[in-house]
Structure 1
Amino acid sequence: MEQRQLLSAKHITKKFGDVTALNDVSIQIESGKTIGLIGENGSGKSTISSIFSGIISPTTGSLKLHNEEYQPTNMVDALEKGIGMIVQEEGTISGITVAENIFLGNLKLFNKGEIISKKKMFEAAQEILDSYKLSEITAMNLIDHYSQEERKLIEVVKVLMKEPEVLIVDETTTALSQQGRDFIYQQMEKQKLENKASIFISHDLEELIEHCDQLIVLRDGHLVDVLSKDEFDENKIKNLMVGRELTGAYYREDFIPTYQDEILINCEELVYKNKVKNITLELHRGEILGIGGLSHCGMHELGKLLFGFLEKDSGRIRAISKKSEIKSTKDAIKAKIGYVSKNRDHEALALKSSVKDNIAIGGTDILTGRFGFISTKKERSYVDQQIEDLAIKTPSREQEVQFLSGGNKQKVVFGKWLARDCDILILDCPTRGIDIGVKAAMYRLMEEMKREGKSILLISEELPELLGMSDRILIMKNGEINHEFLRSKTLLDTEVIQYMI
């Protein structure tokens, strides 16, 4: 098939107030290719994608689609013109059906006068779901009935049914299991076979190298390089992304499990619905305890139970050092336990609130004075310390969190708990959707906490992360602990996987 230029951006600059997100960026998207868009958080990847898909407009510069001027007014307009984007965070709307989510913006297709024929809409939506082998999803059900992954696949179908010429996948695979990821890979391959194109944004270098034909590297809003397949080299890509040689170990360099005898928290015969079944575990002072398994094994629910976020059916959770029982989040916070959720934007952050408010909310008891008022001076100092220590990139402490990059959002979540000087952190997929530079910083922070005698419960779907950082690893399957591994230089992911599946 003859390759042709589908989409181009010329001299694109985008400013948000005084912040320049993109600076004179020119790129071309050709047919028959999967093109990776890569860079650290804040490099401009999502900004250029949002411009392509009509979410925002450039400050200066121009776009062309099929060599004709292209100025999408919104995502629906862009999709009608052939550019479809699957957004990084959740893009479905709660409280309405699957079918209504799929046809949102196109409900007029089912009009009978001024009334929408729901029967026809449900039938059409189900036919589309079935055609993508997603028959386990029922079109007439409320969207809230389905998991985060299933909702993401519904979003994918909504875009694909329009048969876009350019499919933009913005860090979507981080929210999916391997099965869900394979579905995305298949759709990108189909785009190539049909002489269309995909733009693939991911922080996973391995999947980018495997599935892309070309890599566009951005750094601090600038186009750094465009690499063809034969130029792909992991170290070269990393150096282009961060603008410097990455030195030092990525994960821990020691291979001996080290922690103190003192137990900070334990749970006994913990039960929650059919998700967590008779779990008993102990977390020691100075320990990084890894919890792994397939996406629906119960590990995410376990983290929420230990923080008191979910109400257990039976069992007991105790903060041994505080001689207290954990029955609620209030109990957990009082016991100096912090929790970083996998679902950052919905469960850990108030997106329309400032960096200051998101960090300070975790320390209102610390910041409140004798007469019940929060000291403004003390609050600013409290927040600024975290911004400085965690190198949070933000124009000011008053910046709304929704406008930060994924990595800086995650730093804000960490800052909320580090400011409280928590003894225990429950981290659920803490490096999901963040770049290699921020990941490395998070791992160093975890090691520092360990050295200080603090403890971490690390829940992760990434085996290299579990093997690289944990003193012990508990593998969960069907809501139960299926095996325990001790840190070892010879421990292989293949040994671990057999207890997960």
Structure 2
Amino acid sequence: MNSKAILKVKNISKDFGLTHALKDVCVEIEQGEIIGLIGENGSGKSTLSSIISGVYPASLGELELDGEFYKPSDTRDAQMHGISMIAQEMGTLPGIRVADNIFLGKEHLFAKAGVINRKKMYQEALKAMEKIGITNIRPEAPIVQYSLEDRKLIEVVRALYSNPKIFIVDETTTALSQRGRDIIYGIIKQFRKENKTVLFISHDLKELMEICTQMIVLRDGVLIAQLEKEEFNEEKIKELMVGRKLTGDYYRSDYDGHCEDEVVLSADNLYIGTSLKGVSLKLHKGEILGIGGLTDCGMHELGKALFGVKSPLYGEVRLQNQEKIISEKQAIKNKIGYVSKNRDQEALILSASIMENIVIPSYPKLKKGPLILKKSEKEFTNKQVESLNIKCREITQDVRELSGGNKQKVVFGKWLGNESEIFILDCPTRGIDIGVKAFMYQLMYQLKKEGKSIIMISEELPELIGMSDRILIMKDGKIQKSFERSESLNETKLIREMV
């Protein structure tokens, strides 16, 4: 492989107000390498990739691409220079067709005398999708018809259409099932074969160690290390990321799956389209009930049904007092909190402040007569920010400006602030770093010990085994098997029931 530096990052710094996101970073990106970019939330990974891909400019320093000065004015300029990025947040536009999303900004390729040749556009979109193995998406269909995963794959098609020499993948695999991940891995292998470069950002250290040929470690906006493949060591990388020695175990150390006999939430014979086919379960007081399976097994729809987001065709969800859950409002009133897998679209208002997000479910208890005092809101929010160690400039800061881990803490904060007794957590540690994961696991165990009840839906088997008192494995919209907490329980036993 040719090992010349295709991109040089020279003394790059980036400030957002008083926040120093990057501090004097110098690194060389070599041609033909698959380079992992890793660090805790807020370490500067996405900031660095956003500067390289033209999302925003650096405050100080400069970039050199193929030996020449490089300062992209925007993402289109970066694409013209051969650099494309798939961002962590959803990047498709909802009101238009699939093909329009793929060729956003490139409509002129299919236009003659100001009229777009849609047939030609659809044919080209189909060809571009088939090239990376996507055969289930129709180019003429409205994009809203497709799942989060399919929309993310459409972004991949759009990014690759310009035939980039540097492809930046920012936390994309966390939103994908194994099928979607395999598509990304296939693209990465092809880039390596063609002597092109990939910058791959992920919190999944095992994934990075397997896929990447080099790894860059950032901490608090500072470059800590650039490692070659032979230097990869899981414990060493974790230590470089957090600046202290970590043990490999973040989960519960006990194997006591005990909980109270009292049932706090039950589902009876739930049917939702083809997603759920007669699902029944019971959640006990002080229990962490894990629910696992493949992405399309129905577990995510189950979480929404339990919180009242989705109404079942048949069956019902009941509380301890036999009251039926038929809406989100009613669930919140009955002290149920829900953390969605799709955090940015469903769990947060990104354009609102930390304070506005945290106080939403608790307005009724903050009221003094018809009024809600600003002082009460501030005190309430500050308490959650302090107890959850949310890193922010101020509580009036927009949530969109926070790192993934701190966004997730805000989501938890609004339900803790509302004194929830039941927590429905759908992929609660998706897209957050190992330090915040450890914090979340400790928080969940503490809630269990306080007698709170948790349903944890997860695609990560070590997480399910490590934290659950009981695990329900789902397949094809049904509960396939139940497992009790045990020292002998392993991933192989769970996978056997999932596939």
TM-score relative to the length of structure 1: 0.98
Instruction: Give the superposition deviation at 1:135.
Output: 1.9
Shift of 1:183: 1.2
Matches of residues 30-49 of structure 1 in structure 2 within 5 Å?
30-49=30-49
Alignment partner, residue 208 of structure 1:
208
Which residue does 1:296 correspond to in 2? 296
Distance change >3 Å, CA 4–CA 249, structure 1 → 2: closer
Q: Structure 1 residues 449, 367: CA separation in 2 closer, same or farther (over 3 Å shift)?
A: same
Q: Match for residue 165 of structure 1? A: 165
Match of 1:328 in 2: 327
1:423 is the counterpart of 2:421: yes
Residue identity in the other structure for 1:388 = E
Q: Which runs of 5+ in 2 are unaligned?
A: none
1:182-231 deviation line (CA, Å, top 9, x unaligned): 11111111111111110010000101111111111100011111111111
Deviations 1:137-161 (A, max 9, x none): 1111111111111111111111112
Which position in structure 2 is the counterpart of 1:445? 443
d(CA) in 2 for partners of 1:298, 1:227: 40
**Could you tell me which residue of structure 2 aligns to residue 282 of structure 1?**
282
Offset of 1:284 from its aligned partner? 0.2
Match of 1:434 among 432, 435, 439: 432
Match of 1:265, SS state, is strand
Query: Aligned AA for 1:395?
Result: R
Q: Give the drift of 1:133.
A: 2.1
Distance 2:322 2:371 in 1: 30
- Is 1:141 the equivalent of 2:141? yes
* Structure 1 match to 2:363: 364
| Corresponding residue number in structure 2 for 1:238 | 238
Distance 1:34 1:65 in 2: 17
Task: Tell me the distance in 2 between the aligned counterparts of 1:14 and 1:59.
Answer: 5
Matches of 1:272 and 1:19 in 2, distance apart? 46
Q: How does 1:377-388 map to 2 (within 5 A)?
A: 377-388=375-386
**Residue deviations 1:35-60, cap 9 Å, x none?**
01000000000000000000010001
Give the counterpart of 1:481 among 479, 482, 497.
Answer: 479
RMSD: 1.0
TM-score, normalising length from structure 2?
Answer: 0.99
Residue 249 of structure 1, CA deviation:
3.9
**1:61-460 alignment, distance < 5 Å:** 61-247=61-247, 249-320=249-320, 322-370=321-369, 372-460=370-458
Match of residue 10 from structure 1? 10
Q: For 2:368 and 2:156, how far apart are their aligned partners in 1? A: 50
Taking every aligned residue pair, what percent have the same amino acid on both sides? 54
Q: Distance in 2 between matches of 1:23 and 1:410?
A: 25
Q: In the TM superposition, what whole-angstrom CA distance separates every residue of 1:1-52 from its partner, at most 9, and x where no partner exists?
A: 3221111110001000111100000111101110010000000000000000
Deviation at 1:258, TM superposition (A): 1.3
> For the residues of structure 1 that align with 2:136 and 2:327, how far apart are their CA atoms?
35
Output the CA distance in 2 between the equivalents of 1:111 and 1:342: 39
Q: Deviations over 1:320-361 (max 9, x none)?
A: 1x4421011111111110000000001010001000000011
Tell me the CA shift for residue 247 of structure 1. 4.8
Matches of 1:137 and 1:334, distance apart in 2? 40
Whether the 8 Å contact between 1:324 and 1:335 is mirrored in structure 2 is no
Tell me the alpha carbon deviations over residues 228-247 of structure 1, each in whole angstroms, 9 at most, x when there is no partner.
Answer: 11111111100110011125
Any conservation in 1 of the 2:203–2:433 contact (CA below 8 Å)?
yes
- Give the letter aligned to residue 52 of structure 1: I
Q: Tell me, in whole angstroms, the C-alpha distance in 1 between the residues paired with 2:84 and 2:131.
A: 19
Q: Is the 8 A contact 2:286 2:452 kept in 1?
A: yes
Instruction: Tell me the distance in 2 between the aligned counterparts of 1:130 and 1:226.
Output: 36
2:465 is aligned to 467
CA–CA distance in structure 2, aligned partners of residues 377 and 93 of structure 1:
38
2: CA distance, partners of 1:252 / 1:434: 19
Decide whether the 8 Å contact of 1:84 with 1:168 is kept in 2: yes
Could you say what secondary structure the match of 1:393 adopts? coil
CA spacing shift, 1:499–1:247, aligned 2, 3 Å: closer
Aligned residue type for 1:82: G
Contact 1:9 1:25 in 2 (8 A): yes
Structure 1 residue 248 displacement after superposition: 8.3
Q: Name the amino acid aligned to 1:361.
A: I
Is the 8 Å Cα contact of residues 3 and 195 (structure 1) preserved in structure 2? no
Deviations, residues 432-481 of structure 1 (Å, cap 9, x unaligned): 00000000000000000000000000000000100100011001111000
Q: C-alpha separation between the residues in 2 aligned to 1:344 and 1:196?
A: 33
2: distance between equivalents of 1:109 and 1:252?
56
State the alpha-carbon separation in 1 of the partners of residues 45 and 5 from structure 2. Answer: 20
Contact 2:266 2:280 in 1 (8 A): yes
Contact persistence 2:132–2:187 (CA under 8 A): no
CA distance in 2, matches of 1:113, 1:286: 67
Give me the whole-angstrom Cα distance separating, in 2, the residues matched to 1:66 and 1:248: 40
Contact 2:336 / 2:422 at 8 angstroms: preserved in 1? yes
SS in 2 for 1:37: strand
In structure 2, C-alpha distance between the alignment counterparts of 1:135 and 1:464, rounded to whole Å: 32
Inter-partner Cα distance in structure 2 for 1:260 and 1:248: 30
The 2-side partners of 1:366 and 1:158 are apart by 47
**Which ranges of 4 or more aligned residues in structure 1 deviate by more than 3 Å?**
none
Is this contact kept in 2: 1:107–1:116, CA < 8 A? yes
Deviation at 1:362, TM superposition (A): 1.5
Query: Helix, strand or coil: the match of 2:497?
Result: coil
**Amino acid of the structure 1 residue aligned with 2:223:** L
Decide whether the 8 Å contact of 2:290 with 2:456 is kept in 1. yes
State the aligned residue count: 499
Matched residues in 2 for 1:347 and 1:38: separation? 26
Distance 1:41 1:19 in 2: 14
Contact 1:307-1:328 at 8 Å conserved across structures: yes
1:111 Cα deviation after fit? 0.9
| One-letter identity of the residue aligned with 2:41 | N
* Aligned-partner SS, 2:164: coil
Deviation at 1:134, TM superposition (A): 1.1
CA contact (8 A) 1:31 1:192 kept: no
Write the letter of the residue equivalent to 2:378: R
Bigger shift: 225-234 or 428-437?
A: 225-234
